[in-house]
Amino acid sequence: MTNAILAYASYLPSWRVDPAGRGTARRIVASFDEDAITMSVAAARSLRAAESARSLVLATSSPAYLDKTNATTVHAALGLDRRIPASDAIGTARSTLAAVRAAVAGQGALIVAADVRTGRPGSADERTGTDAAAAVLIGAATPEQPAIAEVLATVSLTEEFLDRWRSPAEPSASSWEERFGYEQYAPLVREAATAALDAAGVAQADHVVLTGSNSAITKRASTLVKGVLSTGGSPVGFAGAVDPLLGLAAVLDEAGPAETILLISAADGVDATVLRTTTALSAHRQPEPVAAAAAADGRMVPYPTYLSWRGLLDMEPPRRPEPDRPAGPPSARAAGWKFALTGNRCSACGFLHVPPMRVCRACGVADQSEPVSVRDRGGRIATFTLHRLAHSPSPPVVDVVVDFDGGGRAAFEVADAAPEALGVGGEVTMVFRRLFTAGGVHNYFWKARQVPAAADTSGEEN
């Protein structure tokens, strides 16, 4: 018996940019402190029962590191058991689906995919790309964790031709004209779709999702393979290695029970997967649908600032010393706090320390405590300060002292800060981000993110 999809989730950053400056384009972009690792953590944190994964695989075409496993940082931030293996699948959307196939046929896995898509200024990649992350949990269904979609069949066709490529040293990809790619992919899509449907014993899928980097393919999806209820491509623009999982998530947000989904990814060949939803899907959808996250207004970042975030425009840095490169030994010693935001609670008096301390500040007892993670707790701003001259790609830097729900107080930088909305008592949640990069080392830690205040409707007429 093959494994099934038990849960899914997606993450779209809150920033938007208008590359053309016409006031119409609102491309979804990651913040300066986000990358494939931090977005993977964001997607996986909203996934139901992620801690039950048998293994973790991170798929990306924009890894934060080479010669270092990126998935181990995600593993640490999620607080997973050290006996759960973590590995990378670096490359294209084909790497993502290869990891999915292996998980379905093997012991199951948590597959997270994330990409920061950087196109040359003025290019189609810049206009139509999307920075995003998505995750699926694959494993054996149980009464406590039922399957939301069963995999009926998979078919893969491999073909070597040069449609899109990028050397490891380049920030953006190159491609041939759309027509060439379409002529190569179109017959492969038809062949793979027919073979997958035949293998699944399905005459026509209810939903067809066709994703890929060649826009001519995705635009003509309904002429290549048509679904009974819906046919579409990437829901928010080309998202690289995330594309197939993001497309699948968008359909799972809307699909009914016992409906079939044909998921097709065109990347150096074609991968086709047929799935059937279950009656458990409606009760286990992700918290925020892809369509809702994509339609959110977000916050606009000026185009020159966006270019500087991606290293494509060299702006004058703050006139302050640059931070030193983070060292390995202290990071390893403080890994529980640095990555999983784990403090400790005194076993004698119950006082919660964040960060952890050997000697209790309340009762003075030493080495009598239990670890407690506060990464999933909310909190309130006790006080805050703005640094307008601090070393940052996006000044001002906002620091807050957070009082966590259930105890504990610590200082954090604010992610995606809106200084005008800051206030003592304001609600925050914790997000995993990059503090800075120095000497080729990314300093990952947690930041506080402001929770928008609910609109006051007390004065409205009934």
pLDDT tens figures, 433-442: 999 999 999 9
pLDDT for the residue numbered 24 = 63
SS3 5: strand
Give yes or no for residue 98 having a pLDDT over 70. Answer: yes
- Give pLDDT, residue 302: 92
Query: Using 50, 70 and 90 to split pLDDT, how confident is the model at 62?
Result: very high
Q: What are phi and psi of 53, to 5 degrees?
A: -60, 145
Q: Taking 80 as the threshold, does the pLDDT of residue 4 lie above it? A: yes
Supply the mean pLDDT for the chain.
92
Structure tokens, 336: 């529980």
Q: Which amino acid is at 135?
A: A
Three-state DSSP at 98 gives helix
Chain-centroid distance of CA 378 in Å reads 21
Global pTM?
Answer: 0.94
- CA pair distance 444, 77, nearest whole angstrom: 9
- Confidence band, pLDDT 50/70/90 cuts, at residue 455: very low
Instruction: Compute the distance between CA of residue 459 and CA of residue 297 in angstroms, rounded to an integer.
Output: 25
Tokens standing for residue 329: 């030994």
Residue 456 pLDDT exceeds 50: no
Report the pLDDT value the prediction gives residue 25, as an integer from 0 to 100.
65
Which pLDDT value is given to residue 453? 74
**Which has the closest alpha carbon to 102: 80, 87, 84?**
87
- Other beta carbons less than 10 A from residue 397's beta carbon: 17
pLDDT category, 212, cuts 50, 70, 90?
A: very high
> What is the pLDDT averaged over residues 104-118?
96
SS3 414: strand
The least confident of 102-106, 173-177, 286-290, 423-427 is 173-177
Confidence at 457, pLDDT banded by 50, 70, 90: very low
Query: What pLDDT score was predicted for residue 30?
Result: 97
What tokens appear for 195 in the block?
């073979």
According to the model, what pLDDT value does residue 458 have? 42
Helices marked H in 375-445: none
pLDDT (0 to 100) of residue 159 = 93
Model confidence at 155: pLDDT above 60:
yes
Average pLDDT for 36-45: 97
pLDDT above 80 (res 462): no
